[in-house]
Structure 1
Amino acid sequence: MPLSLPRLLPVACLSLGALAAFTAFQEADPVMQRLATRLQAYYAEGNPEISYLHLNQAAYVAGETVWFKAYVVDGSTHQPDSLSRVLYVDMISPSGKQVALRRMLPLRGGLAHGDIMLPDSLPQGIYTLRAYTNWMRNSGEELFFSRRVPVWQAVSSSRASSRLMAKEMSANRRESTTAARPDVQFFPEGGDYVAGLATIVGVKALDATGTGLAVRGTILDDQNQPHATFSTSALGMTGVSFTPVAGRRYFARVVLPAGTTADYPLPAVRPDGWVLNVRDAGPDLQVFIRYQPPQGAMQAPTKLRLLGHVRGAVVYTGAGQIQGSETFMATVPKADLPAGIVHFTLFDDQQIARAERLAFVPDPAPLRLRLQPEKTTYGLREVVSMTVDVRTAAGQPVTAELSASVASVAEGLPATGTTDVDVESHLLLTSELKGYLENPGYYFRQPTPETRRALDHLLLTQGWSRFVWGRLLASDVSPAAAYQFLPEQTLTVSGQLMRLNEKPVPNGALTLFQGASKGVTVGQTDATGRFTFTGFSGQDSSRVLVQARTEKGGSNVMVKLDKLWPLPAKPTPLPLLASAAAPPAEVAVYAQRSRRQQVLEQQYRPDSSRSIVLRNVTVKGSRPTPPRHDPRSIHLSADVVLRTRDIPAADNATDIFQLLQGRVSGMDIFRSDSANAVRVRIRGISTLTGGGGPLLLLDGIQLPNTQSLQGIPPSMVERIEVLKGPSAAIYGMRGMGGVIAVFTKHGNPDYDYSQEKSNQSVVVYQLPAYYRPREFYAPGYEKSPAANRPDPRATTLHWLPRLPVPASGPARFTFYTADEPGTFRVRVEGIGATGQPVTGSAVLVVADR
């Protein structure tokens, strides 16, 4: 009897022959012990982290503020803390080729909160909001927290921003056109399908933007004989029962949404191997294993082992042997498993992982959140008091760290392109699956047989993977030992030292100069050329200079600093929003309310200068614009300014001092023939009073000696400024011998790095400061000043990023309604002290009475 579709079925329907049971390990098995030990060590040393952002809204209009609360938890236990203390949040443009907005925040106990003011000229489109730590980058950007956020542009914008919007939309359309054919993939359950063994094949159909497609199709062999039919749901997934035949090749003829047909190949059929099936049988998960030996091989018993784990915690080990047409079964009670994704991996007698299957286990005892307003209907400017109570399934109060939003739902924005995700669906599902996951909240809101089946299809397809057991077992050294990025306790400057042929420079010598503190730190690269400087407070932005040499002192090297804001390696085209020139009716209504709110905020909010981005401003007059002062220097003018673009063959000069030689009156440059050392004297008052050499500055950073400046290739230099006598007085005693200030192209914010072709043994970098979050406007009408002002809150009525619930009982928060009636949804999310997710919502109505 062939295997049926993956749903609740009697065990008898899954057996092809004798049914034998696994034996769970009661005695020590050295093989399983080693597998379990290596797995646990991998998670312990890798210390995975999970990030999540709770937003005040799911979609926005340009000019609004994205308010967010960040949670970073331990990847294994989901405890609300983290190894890292620095969080990066960014918004990637719709084309995926630009970091549009960014924030860097300190983490305290795995928590942070912030805001992103969307410029009102921001081009319309679906942006990707991400949150990650430096440590998370070792596991790949696909495991960053990521969600799609539509930003509508429903007001006329400037010609420049319109061109930018059109450019973004054009780039998206080009991407969509090049990948117009839907992607239909097939995933044999467990990893392979084997000739003669019935199994389930997962089907996943997606358009170019990663959105699921409802398609239907037929599986045919290379002689055009049909073997099975299927149809996918609106999410683009299903499972089909299939028994392949040896020597045949298979493909699927798919009817696409447009009515056209296309053929897609299926994976090749293996003549021998293993098949692993997992079924949900109510209180248990049942695992079935079958084996097809190579043709002509003796029908001897074959040993096998099964290991199950949830986020690195081993929850099941079993062993047995299989012969002939036997089907082996293991029964795993769900009550013994943590909530989340359980990975079942099958090993043969050579300890080689042969198949893997993922299954989902819901939380049998979730935390319960009671969110209770005093009443459901309120008047304008009336105080609302909300009670928040978190308890275990047994009714015991428990501590929790929460955040709360109160946002309008009566006139909300369309759900086009939004990612329906909450803290529960992310912690238990999306954080363990690579790639974009469409609407994960669907699987959790209302658990039904349909949603459970859809979730199983998801794990059958997108969860189809092979854990890197081969690499894990090949050595006792954890893969985490080769991680490039370290967990940040403070801000860091890191990178790799390379030769011009792109080979790493081990044991290279590094010197870091800090502009503000005038500190100097020395370091050395490791065997792979990697380096990390730590200890930056992040309280203020800091300009640093990194100078590198080989172990023997050579300067023919390149310093490659790690980017703080990595772009997606393979940007995925995103869905397009309706034209901004003719937005949907609900967008126009919402935008009108939002615009009114922004105007009132600009007029009445105390921090309006920080929170409002002005629209088009026309400036009339003929007053000349003064030249922009270079922020890298404290002096406004210099006695001599040499620009390398004006010096013939400047890039061919030996060093900077050769550029200066003979071009600055009163400057003497002396070179030592033995060590090629340079000594500089600027004639003036300092020579009469016995002063030392000139102050040497590189992009505003003081250098200790001429040797440090000699290592700067002239091709990197934009200009050199020389200050003598009174001009140098702005530098005090340091400038008594004059000043030589060198400005690089790299330190210039307007420099085009795409044109860079030079050696970069010295790099100047502006390390940003932590973002200082704004406070959400929450008026108190018991105080007279706010009573006489219009209340601008029309879209998000309240945002509370910190809502701790004590173990002693309920918490309470209050806020006032505003001047706009409407229906608002109160949404609370967070994490309990046990690591369990907490979610809840309530609806309140504000009436004009």
Structure 2
Amino acid sequence: MLYVDVVTPEREVIFQRTLALEHGMVAGDIILPDTLRTGVYTLRAYTSWMRNSAEDLFFTRRVPVWQVAAPAAAGPAASDARRALRARATAQQLKAASAPDVQFFPEGGDYLAGLPTTVGVKAVTASGHGLALQGTVLDEKGNAVARFTTPALGTSSFNFTPLANQRYRATVTLPEGTAATYALPAVREAGWLLNVREIGDNYRVFVRHQGAGAATPEPLQLVAHVRGQPVYSGTGLIAPGETFSAVIPKANAPAGILHITLFDGRQTAQAERLVFVPETQGLQVRLRPSKQTYGRREAVGLDVEVTTAAGQPVAAELSLAVSNTVVLPGAAAEATDVRAHLLLTSELRGYVENPAYYFQAHTPAVQRALNDLLLTQGWSRFTWQQVQAPTSLAAGYLFPLERTLMLSGQLVRNNKKPVPEGQITLLYGKTKNLVQATAGPGGMFLFTGFPGQDTTAVLLQARTPKGSNNVLLQLNELWPRPADSWRPVVPLSLATAESAPVVAYGQRSRRQQQQLYRPDSTSGIVLRNVTVTGRKAPDSPPSLHSGNVSALLRTRDFPTIGSYRNIFEFMQGRVTGMQVTTTTTGYSVLIRGMSSFKGSTEPLYLLDGMTLSDGDALLAIPAVDVERIEVLKGAAAAMYGSRGGNGVVAVYTKRNSGDFSTTPAAGVAVRRVPAYHRTREFYAPATKPAAGPTRPTPAPRPSIGSPT
């Protein structure tokens, strides 16, 4: 199961898609209304299993949305005035945004007094884009101890030797000429220092330790991995004032981010550094078109050849994107590719600007920019407990591996303690299908196999093993709200959105749509007024006991129906010859004059014609969602044989009341399980006659599984 969201600059989810993956792939679409305002939106995709890690590791892609309508023909003066007004509004938005952010990151995590190290700098605007600036590091007396300059991407680094009992600050000059001051992290007297340098075909790791009065050597361990695959592990001893070094060959590691972590003698992680291992045997892809030039609507044939760096053919899965050479300028495109996502940005937290830049020619400038990026934004994706643990930690994960639509959660009490072995009743669908099951030892439950063809209304009722409704249902949300740590994106300038290239792009797009969907603009058909008549379907569900009902209760005849917690409270004292009493676990119904050979006095309960094992399931249905209640006794109940020996209570719910109620009772929760998104098949002009369309065979409808 794949969930796809579109998030506004204000971190509001406005579109959601639920897709069923097949062999790791699925087609999808999102229609943007023409009323959507200009701004930078975020496309977010994730699975249930991915939610067990940080949200920063979801797949995200920033998508600019432009309003490309040309200015109205109201004269140059009016158009200029409109643009000036919008420009002022945009300027106010930019001014109201937060100030630029500048942060400092000592290599490995900390820096120690008297030991030289490297400090990374990350400077970004309020929208999260890199900021070019100059700065000076000052001590408490105002003396300059280091200088730095950040390029357009906003990341840089400088060498620095901090002193004890000193607090440092940085004064930076912003692009508009103003100055700002930012504090550097505090200097530590004791601790561990980790430095990594790329020298030729190896990574040299240097470790220094500065203890608080300790004179004996300290044990240490260095461990390195790429995407959880161990690459290096070494141990040693280090005394204060000494330097421990290790060599990690690049040839031992696959391409990607190499995580190097330093552990002390108690197996506690003290420092970590991320470096990038470049590809040494990248695939070579060659495209050869079948012709040098092509005509309008002519099919294009491409021969694709994939080989290794040595020229050997190799199997590969490829994606191809074709775009017009005339595209939106500036922020309309983001320079990234599949390789940059898989090897770099998928393991970094936060927004990475222009990822494809770091995969250009291996020049010193690009190499340093990549090193500074990992020095500042480098956060580990895999915890070392996961890498070193002998068994998987998946048993402790909250979100399951979802292969079909699921509904999961936990039964807890008011003090948040779990309710083990609690009883759960599930009602779903328009036909009110019923499933009864038992939660696990920790109160966890999981229902699987929802069909997904239509949005399904689900109502859950929970009880303790003794039958009490003093229990809370905590359902796992399908779509998480974007975390507050997301940096909001400043909207695109409205003045820029109406610039000449953007307006021209919109005009070209509209002309192309007219040519594709309506080649002949001279013809048209105008329909006359049409009157549509119909008959409204009856609201009441059909009765199974026409002419045999002993007593009938219609909820529409009782304006105060919403004040009753359940139908048993509603029935008390309203049916002659039927007694409704409360018990320690719920309610008991006795229809006088009825008896059976089973020894039980409870009548037969029906819900929309479906037989229930007992009346507890009816407690989950709010009284406002009931259309009527039919009571059968005596000869009227004989149609059910011995099952109706104690009488019959038939409950009919309202039609189209699939959402049950917005105010469920205690121990009850309501949820709408989404339907699979039906992807549209977009129009494309035919280049040659094609075979008739085929319709895929629908998969069999799965059944609801038991909770685990």
- What range describes the TM-score normalised by the shorter chain of this pair? 0.7 to 0.9
3-state SS in 2 of match to 1:384 = coil
- Which amino acid in structure 2 is aligned with residue 431 of structure 1? S
More deviation, 210-219/399-408:
399-408
Report the Cα offset of residue 776 of structure 1.
4.1
Offset of residue 668 of structure 1: 7.0
Cα shift at 1:285: 1.4
Equivalent residue runs for 1:307-706 within 5 Å: 307-410=223-326, 412-416=327-331, 418-464=333-379, 468-469=383-384, 478-515=392-429, 519-570=433-484, 571-579=486-494, 583-599=498-514, 642=555, 646-647=559-560, 650-651=562-563, 653=564, 655-661=566-572, 669-672=578-581, 677-679=587-589, 695-697=606-608, 705-706=614-615
AA in 2 matched with 1:297:
A
Q: CA deviation at 1:189?
A: 0.2
The runs of 5 or more residues in structure 2 that have no matched partner are 72-86, 521-527, 547-551, 592-602, 632-639, 641-646, 693-708
- Is residue 2:49 matched to residue 1:131? no
- The alpha-carbon distance between structure 1 residues 459 and 744, as it changes in their structure 2 partners (threshold 3 A), is farther
Residues 770-849 of structure 1: matches in 2 within 5 Å? 770-783=676-689
Q: Is the 8 A contact 1:678 1:707 kept in 2?
A: no
CA distance change for structure 1 residues 599 and 466 in 2, over 3 Å: closer, same or farther?
Answer: closer
Farther-moved stretch of structure 1 (544-553 vs 138-147): 544-553
The one-letter amino acid paired with 2:237 is Q
CA distance in 2, matches of 1:441, 1:237: 16
| Aligned twin of 2:674 | 768
Distance 1:219 1:352 in 2: 32
Amino acid of the structure 1 residue aligned with 2:335? D
Work out the CA distance in 2 between the residues paired with 1:171 and 1:572: 21
Deviation at 1:89, TM superposition (A): 1.4
Instruction: State the alpha-carbon separation in 2 of the partners of residues 779 and 288 from structure 1.
Output: 62
Out of 233, 241, 245, which is 2:151 matched to? 233
Matched, 1:243 2:194: no
Classify 1:553/1:674 alpha carbon distance in 2 versus 1 (closer, same or farther; 3 Å). Answer: closer
Contact conserved, 1:344 with 1:356, CA < 8 A, in 2? yes
Aligned to 1:442, the other structure's residue is in SS state: helix
Give, as a single letter, the amino acid of the residue that structure 2 aligns with 1:118: L
In the TM superposition, residue 456 of structure 1 has moved relative to its aligned partner by 0.5
Number of corresponding residues: 640
**Partner letter of residue 133 of structure 2?**
V
Instruction: Mark the CA change 1:275 to 1:183 in structure 2 (over 3 Å): closer, same or farther.
Output: same
Change (3 A) 1:248 1:101: same
CA distance in 1, matches of 2:166, 2:381: 25
**Are 2:708 and 1:708 equivalent residues in the alignment?**
no
SS in 2 for 1:426: helix
What is the match of residue 614 of structure 1?
Answer: none
Cα shift at 1:123: 3.2
**CA contact under 8 A between 2:360 and 2:366: conserved in structure 1?**
no
Report the Cα distance in structure 2 between the residues aligned to 1:418 and 1:360, rounded to whole angstroms: 25
Whether contact under 8 Å (2:195, 2:207) holds in the other structure is: yes
Higher relative contact order structure (alpha carbons within 8 Å, sequence separation ≥ 6): 1
Tell me how far 1:779 sits from its aligned partner: 3.4
Q: 1:746·1:764 contact (CA, 8 Å) conserved in 2?
A: no
Mapped partners of 2:423, 2:378: distance in 1? 45
The 1:110/1:297 distance shift into structure 2, 3 A limit, reads: same
- Counterpart of 2:615, as a letter, is T
In the aligned structure 2, how far is the partner of 1:200 from the partner of 1:426? 27
Q: Alpha-carbon deviations, 1:400-419, whole Å to 9, x = none?
A: 22232222231x22342754
Indicate if the aligned counterparts of 1:419 and 1:439 stay in contact, CA closer than 8 A: yes
Equivalent positions of 1:707-786 (< 5 A) are 707-712=616-621, 718-722=624-628, 740-742=651-653, 748=659, 759-783=665-689
Show the counterpart of 2:141.
223
Q: For 2:348 and 2:313, how far apart are their aligned partners in 1?
A: 32
Show CA shifts across 1:149-183 (max 9, x none).
112223499xxxxxxxxxxx999999976751222
1:556 and 1:759 in contact (8 A); partners too:
no
Q: Structure 1 residues 503 and 303 mapped into 2: Cα distance closer, same or farther (>3 Å)?
A: closer
Q: AA paired with 2:587?
A: A
Q: Deviations over 1:695-729 (max 9, x none)?
A: 425xx9986643212244x5xx544312779xxxx
Q: Match for residue 61 of structure 1?
A: none
Q: CA deviation at 1:197?
A: 0.5
Matched-pair contact (CA < 8 Å) for 2:42–2:62? yes
**TM-score (structure 2 length as normaliser):** 0.79
Deviation (angstroms), 1:276: 1.0
- CA displacement at 1:236 relative to structure 2: 1.1
Equivalent residue number for residue 89 of structure 1: 4
Highest CA radius of gyration, 1 or 2? Answer: 2
Give, in angstroms, the shift of residue 96 of structure 1: 0.9
Relative to structure 1, the CA distance from residue 523 to residue 447 in structure 2 (aligned partners, 3 Å threshold; closer, same or farther) is farther
Distance 1:400 1:331, change over 3 A: same
- Deviations 1:565-609 (Å, cap 9, x if unpaired)? 21202143113123289622222122223234445666589xxxx
Q: 2:89 & 2:476 partners in 1: Cα distance?
A: 27
Alignment check: 8 A CA contact 1:718 1:744 kept: no
Length-normalised TM-score, structure 1: 0.67
2:76 maps to what in 1?
none
User: Relative to 1, partners in 2 of residues 1:204 and 1:379: Cα closer, same or farther, differing over 3 Å?
Assistant: same
- TM-superposed CA distance for 1:760, in Å, is 4.9
- Could you tell me how far apart the structure 1 residues matched to 2:409 and 2:558 are? 30
Residue 149 of structure 2 is aligned to residue 201 of structure 1? no
Q: 1-side partners of 2:106 and 2:538: how far apart?
A: 64
Distance in 1 between residues matched to 2:648 and 2:35, nearest whole Å: 49
